[in-house]
Every structure is written in C-alpha cells, then in structure tokens.
Amino acid sequence: MSQEVGHHHGSDPNSPEIRTEALEDLLAEKGLIDRARVDALIERFEHDLGPMIGARLVAKSWLEPEFRKKLLDNADQVLQDEQIQGAEIEHVEIKANEPGIHNVVVCTLCSCYPWALLGLPPSWYKSPEYRSRVVREPRKVLAEMGLSLDPDTEIRVWDSSSETRFLVLPERPSGTEELDLEALAQLVTRDSMIGVAEVKAQ
Amino acid sequence: MSTDHRVHDIGGTEGWGEVPYDPNEPVFHDDWERRVLGLLFQVLPHTAKRPGEFRHALERLASEDYFCADGYYGRWRAGMEVLLHEYGHVDKAELDNRLGVPHGTSAGYRSANVAAVNPKSLPPDRNTPLPERRTVRRELDEPPQFQIGDRVVAAGNDESGHTRLPEYVRGVAGTVVKIHPAEVLPDSTAHNLGDRPQHVLCVAYQAKDLWGEDAEEDVVVNVDLYESYVELKEGVS
C-alpha cells in the first residue's frame, strides 16, 4: 500500500493526519526510515496477522484432545511445532474456560497482547476503561460488554504484567459436532480468545 | 502508598465509564494510525532498543499526551516524538517548524525526564548465557526462591523509574500459582543498568483482598511479578 505523500488532508496543523505526515516526512528526509518498509510492515499487520491464527489453535484443540492437552501444558512447544512465530509471544500460556470457570485477559500497565496469535489489539482493549475496571469489577464489565456469566462462575483475570502473553481457550458451543477444523475456526472470534465473549454456533 | 500516581498504572482505579466496545472494530480507523505503527518499528531501532525503554517513554508522557484525543496511536506518536528528541534525531521544535505552528506542541515539551534509578535499589546482576536470538528470556542456574503455594507480598516503592509492579497489588498478599520462564528485569533494562534476570512468578490475588468486602464474588486476579518484587508474607509459608 504505497502512500502518495500529499499535503491535502485539510489544514489543521495539529490534526493527527497532518502531524503524522510531517513526522514521516522529517524521518524520511533524515534517512531514519524507509517508506517502502513502512508500507510492507503495515501490509503484514493488516492482512497476514490476525485472530485466525489463534482461532485455528482453538478449533484444533476442540477436535484433538491430545493437542488440547499439549497446548495447555506447553503452548511454547506447540507454537514451535506449528511454526507460529512473531511479535509478543515470547512465552504464551493458554487458559481454558470450562463449566464454572471463565478466563479474561488484560494488561493494566500498558496494552500487552499476543500479537502473533491475535493481530493488533482493538481500541477497547487499550482503553483506560477496560484496563482499570476489568480487574476490579470483571463481572460487571463483561455484562456491559454483552457476556452475562452465571453468578457461580469463577472469574480468573490475567493481568499481562510480564512478557508472558495469555490466550483464552473458549468452550466449544453445542451444535457444532459436525463441523471440521476450518468451519470451527471460522466461529472463533478474537474477543472470545481475550475472554470478553463466548463462541456461538452461528 | 505512592502519592504521585503513575499515569499509566490505572488497574483498579475508579471513576471510569463504560468500555468503548465495538465487536466489529477494524484493525485501523484511519490511515495515519497505520503510518504510526509502521514508523514505530523503524524508529525504535534508532532509539529505545532495550526492554522496557519504550514503555518507560510512554509512562513519562504528560497525562494530556498519555490520554490524548488521538487514542492509542496518538500516544505512540507522542512517545516517538519524545524519544526522537532525546536521542537527538528530531528536535522537539523541528516538527513545529515544519508544521508552521508556535513551538510547544510536541509531547517532548511536557514529558518527564528519564528517571534516575539507583542501581542499589535493584537486585544484583548475574551471569547468564546470552541467547542466540534476541529475547528477554534467560536461563538461570539458581532455582526460584519461592514455590507454588507460597504466600507473597510486594511492597513496591515510590521511585519514578520503570516497573512492572502494578500499584493495586502493593502490600496485598497473594499466592504463587505458577513460575514462568526467567526474564531480564525491565526495572533495570529500561534504565540501562543491566539484565539482572529474575524468575517470574504468577501470583493469584483474591478480589476481596484487593478491593475489600464489597468486591465481586468468586474473582481471582492473576498478576505476573518478577521475583525481586516480592517477599514471603511473614507468618505464612
């Protein structure tokens, strides 16, 4: 995606468009950046990375109990076996939801997130509202986001304060017994792997 | 407890509204956000190369820049402006000149300086084999000082350096539930004071211990803590 560097985004010099463009121009003039590499990186993050990588792991673990066990015991080894590499997965732990236990992931200090498994984090995950509240009142926050848990369900919040990154393994919805790996992976949303949604059969 | 709250350390703070949730949010909202992401990956190798250094730059932003109207990518751009100025690549006035606005718009005018951290406040460094690839992980000869099931507490301090100890767990007892692979200590690396690698403990806190009796029922908050942050809680092992 090559960007024409024009100066026609409007006229407010403090708008994010103008300011970012001016910064990029300065960096390019100083030889600190290569615009083609900027383009390539954006392309990779926008199109090659994303929740489909994590979704495939989830779907496979629903179909193969041995794989699920390995994923929960030693996700790093599974990622190595599956040749999944990239940013922000130095050490990964998978937390399985089960009846009576629900897991949800946050980073209260910044916005740590398993990029190589889920792509870039959504804005709400990086918002101060989510970061501050989900450790103090997760049941209420999840309900506001559309996930009302049974009052008896234990909530386990994982605050990503070291370089360990967490992924939630959501429960397989009923009515999906006939589906194959690809079809199951299609059902698994990003938000279910952060722990703010359940996977639905349709 | 700290009186001067760290701008980024907001876990458990009150007064925030509803999460701005959109299940169908696009990866980027505007093209400039794409550019900021792409630029950052080439700016960091010229500036904040050490683990924790970029995070510390963001943490040093003034509140108005940290919680800026341009959101997360605006914060990243502000962090880049600070680092580019501090490393001598783009003076904080240079962007204003380019934009034709009075000096003072860059986050660099408002950010705090890199904190001076006393190395004596950090655990001693230790020799570990340097991994072949670039990673924060290290292999330690020494076993962890704590075991799963230990009750631990992190006292913390009020220094302004980088740390990954969230304020909300300070002084509260939790239980070690897992020990993660050892990592370099960001409190040290962010300040160029060596790797000082540490075992990393996953510590489980009961919500009622963190927030009091009004806390939600059946909630456990798990926080990863570098071993040097914690001590055994006295009287319990």
Please report, for the domain that includes residue B43, its CATH number: 1.10.472.20
Same domain flag for B185 and B156: yes
B19 shares its domain with B96: yes
Whether residues B171 and B228 fall in one domain: yes
Do A144 and B19 count as a contact with CB atoms less than 8 A apart? yes
Q: How far apart are alpha carbons B46 and A31 in whole angstroms?
A: 11
Q: Say whether both B106 and B154 belong to one domain.
A: no
Q: Do B162 and B187 meet the contact criterion of CB atoms below 8 Å apart?
A: yes
Q: Does residue B123 lie within any of the structural domains?
A: no
E strand or H helix at B222, and its extent? strand B219-226
pLDDT at B4: 55
B93 in any annotated domain:
yes
Instruction: Mark yes or no for CB contact A108/B70 under 8 Å.
Output: no
A15 carries an active-site annotation = no
Within the 77-136 window of chain B, which residues sit less than 8 Å (CB to CB) from chain A?
A: 77, 80-81, 84, 89-90, 94-95, 98-101, 105, 135-136
pLDDT band at residue A30, thresholds of 50, 70 and 90?
very high
Residues B180, B237, A160: CA angle, nearest 5 degrees: 30
Spot the catalytic one: A110, A127, A148, A161: A110
Q: Is residue B82 part of a domain?
A: yes
Of B180, B210, B221, the CB nearest to A164: B180
Residue A171 is classified by DSSP as: P
- A115 φψ region: left (φ > 0), alpha (ψ -120 to 50), beta (else): alpha
Nearest-by-CA chain A residue for B42? A33
Closest of A79, A78, A103 to residue A170, by C-alpha: A103
Q: Find the mean pLDDT for residues B222-235.
A: 94
B9 belongs to a structural domain: yes
> Could you say which of 3.10.105.10, 3.30.70.20, 3.30.1330.10, 3.90.330.10 is the CATH number of the domain covering A50-194?
3.90.330.10
Assess contact for B185 and B228: CB atoms under 8 A.
Answer: yes
Q: Do A25 and B166 touch (CB under 8 A)?
A: no
> Where is the domain boundary, B114, B148, B180?
B114
- B58 & B97 share domain: yes
The stretch B16-34 carries a mean pLDDT of 94
Gap between the Cα atoms of A191 and A196, Å rounded: 6
Residue B161 lies in a domain: yes
ipTM: 0.95
Q: What is the pLDDT of residue B236?
A: 52
Give the best residue of B6, B32, B84, B172 to mutate against chain A (max A CB count within 10 A). B32
How would you class B199 by CB atoms within 10 Å of its CB: exposed for 0-12, middle for 13-18, buried for 19 or more? buried
Structural domain count, chain B: 2
Instruction: Decide if A110 is catalytic.
Output: yes
How many degrees, rounded to 5, is the angle at CA B120 between CA B117 and CA B123? 100
Span between the terminal Cα atoms of chain A, in Å: 34
Model confidence band, residue B127 (pLDDT cutoffs 50, 70, 90):
confident
In this complex, do A155 and B95 lie within 8 Å of one another by their Cβ atoms?
no
pLDDT above 50: residue A1? no
- DSSP class per residue in A58-85: HHHHHH-HHHHHHHHH-HHHHHHHTT--
- Mark whether B154 and B108 lie in a shared domain: no
pLDDT for res A10: 60
Kindly state whether residues B93 and B152 are assigned to the same domain: no
Res A202 pLDDT > 90: no
Whether residue B108 sits in one domain with residue B7: yes
In this prediction, residues B91-112 reach a mean pLDDT of 96
Note whether B213 contacts A: Cβ–Cβ < 8 A.
Answer: no
Q: pTM value?
A: 0.95
Q: In Å, how far is A20's CA from the nearest CA of chain B?
A: 6
| Residues B54 and B140 grouped into a single domain | no
Distance to chain B for A114, nearest Cα, Å? 15
Residue B8 and residue B72 in one domain: yes
| Cβ–Cβ < 8 Å for B123, B225 | no
Q: Which tokens go with B111?
A: 């950010």
Contact partners, residue B36, CB within 8 Å, separation at least 6: A20, B73, B74, B76, B77, B80
Report d(CA A51, CA B127) in Å as an integer.
Answer: 38
Q: How many residue pairs bridge chain A and chain B with CB atoms within 8 Å of each other?
A: 224
In this predicted model, what pLDDT tens digit does every residue of A148-195 receive, in sequence order? 999 999 999 999 999 999 999 999 999 999 999 999 999 999 999 999
Question: Quick check: is A112 catalytic?
Answer: yes
| Of residues B8, B30, B71, nearest to A109 (C-beta) | B8
Q: Which residues form the domain of B21?
A: 1-114
Using 50, 70 and 90 to split pLDDT, how confident is the model at A35?
very high
Of A77-91, A99-113, B59-73, B223-237, the least confident = B223-237
Domain ranges of chain A: 16-47, 50-194
